[in-house]
Amino acid sequence: MTTLAFIADPGHGWLRVPLDSLATLDMTPSHYSFVDTKKGLAYLEEDCDAPAYIRALKATGKTLPHIPELNQNNFSNIRKLPRFTRK
């Protein structure tokens, strides 16, 4: 597992994770999270999806990765990415 990051702007925050890890954990994020398919990354909304991801990681028994916090002074470009949709 690569190092994850928590990205926060003045209004909200997201946990940046590899997109393929969602399938591994059998997780489908809510409409409040964003996806960047070109970079293979998911940005999981801080209130529901990010905690669910961390719980799913803990359930695997693997050591949790280091999660540095990256604060942005302006609103993040993450907000311009497509949102997840339920199938």
Predicted TM-score (pTM) of this structure: 0.91
The residue extents of the domains of the chain are 5-80
Residue 71 to residues 12, 39, 53, 74, Cα–Cα distance (Å): 10, 20, 20, 9
Residue 74 has pLDDT above 60, yes or no: yes
44 neighbors 22 (Cβ within 8 angstroms): no
pLDDT band at 3 (very low <50, low <70, confident <90, very high): low
**Gap between the Cα atoms of 45 and 13, Å rounded:** 6
Q: What is the pLDDT of residues 4-56, one digit of tens each?
A: 899 999 989 999 999 999 999 999 999 999 999 999 999 999 999 999 999 99
- Would you give the DSSP letter of residue 3? P
Per-residue pLDDT for 2 more than 70?
no
Residue 35's DSSP bridge partners are 42
Task: State residue 64's pLDDT score.
Answer: 85
Comparing C-alpha atoms, which of 11, 2, 8 is closest to residue 43? 8
